[in-house]
Amino acid sequence: MKKPKGIRILSALCLGCFIMVIFYFNSSLKPEPLGEQSGGQKTRRSPLQALYEGDQVESPVQAIHQGRRELLEEACRSYTRKRRVLIPEDLKHIIVDDKHGLLYCYVPKVACTNWKRVLMVLTGVSGDHKDPLAIPANEAHVPGNLRTLSEYSNSQINQRLRSYLKFIFVREPFERLVSAYRNKFTRSYNTAFHKRYGTKIVRRHRADPQPEALEKGNDVSFEEFVYYLVDPATQREEPFNEHWERVHSLCHPCLIHYDVVGKYETLEQDSRYVLQLAGVDKQIRFPASSKSTRTTGDMAASFFQNISPFYQKKLYNLYRMDFLLFNYTVPAYLKFR
């Protein structure tokens, strides 16, 4: 006897939820090793095995990363009340390196251009380029150059979440925010951002704007940018752009068990650690960052000088989870406390 249409739809939805629940629980399981080659011959040790099954005496770097994992897990237990399942949309920022067993969740303004360059070399999509810095920055961000986890089937996603090394790099939230503002709103070449976001910010948050500002959107102040971020209408209209979206919304660290939490403040050391775990530190080096142009804590403090305590508090509340999850203290320059 044929089931009524409503029951068939409900059954399909339940099956879909079951698949995604598997998907969620697998994301927080302890690692599974990669498979064996035919004939029972073992493959080389995977990055995940190198991390969790290493027989060497624990190094200071290993201890640091173990501490970060524990702090993140504790923060998730303390501050995450509602648990939910992952959906493919959540995985669009996770880049897959099947050759080396790596999953990298990229966060804009946290050295993601250089990590994409490195992964292009490791996965072989860089062509003749063996030096990451030889790859133009714009090429590193071309969609389709690197595969993301959202492109795989549920079973393939499960397998990779269990057996690949999952890593992320984070940064002090307000330094990252100021860096995004400086890059997207104070550089003359970023006309696409000026048109897309600048004109909207000027229209909404500037009293008596000039016609040229309404047309070009190329002179947005940091104060106006803050007003735009804390305005409830902003996120009602559309999600934040990835350059100022919160890390916990991009990478879901309370749903996905990250094995390595790298920090921008210790970028060189943490990047070398990931490459060592992957067994490629002898063939590739992570590019050194330019310290002359980077956004520092002192620079971030200067941008917040003209932000009132009221808006400082609202902005902190917006990024509060990133401060808590990744163990960043409230900046001393904020005046709302």
What are the structural domain ranges in the chain?
Answer: 47-171+246-278, 175-243+296-326
- Per mean pLDDT, which range of 214-228, 278-292, 315-329 is the poorest? 278-292
The whole-number pLDDT of residue 337 equals 67
Rounded CA separation 282/285 (Å): 8
The average pLDDT across 125-146 equals 92
* Average pLDDT over the chain, rounded to an integer: 88
Confidence of residue 14 (pLDDT cuts 50, 70, 90): very low
Residue 127 region, left (φ>0) first, then alpha (ψ -120 to 50), else beta? Answer: left
Task: Return the H-helix or E-strand segment holding 167.
Answer: strand 165-170
Rounded CA separation 79/99 (Å): 36
Residue 183 region, left (φ>0) first, then alpha (ψ -120 to 50), else beta? Answer: alpha
CB proximity list for 46: less than 8 A, separation 6 or greater: 33, 34, 101, 163, 164, 165
The average pLDDT across 158-167 equals 97
Do residues 257 and 162 make contact, with C-beta atoms less than 8 angstroms apart? no
The average pLDDT across 112-141 equals 94
In DSSP notation, 291-310 reads TTTSPPHHHHHHHHTTS-HH
pLDDT of 27 > 50? The answer is no
Give, as one character, the DSSP assignment of residue 21: H
Rounded CA separation 198/23 (Å): 39
Q: Which of 315, 186, 297, 304 is nearest to 240 (CA)?
A: 315
Q: What percent of the chain has pLDDT over 90?
A: 78
3-state SS of 88-126 is HHHHCCEEEECCCCEEEECCCCCCHHHHHHHHHHHHCCC
pLDDT of 59 > 90? The answer is no
pLDDT digits (tens, 9 = 90+) for 272-304: 999 999 999 999 999 987 667 889 999 999 999
Rounded CA separation 107/92 (Å): 11
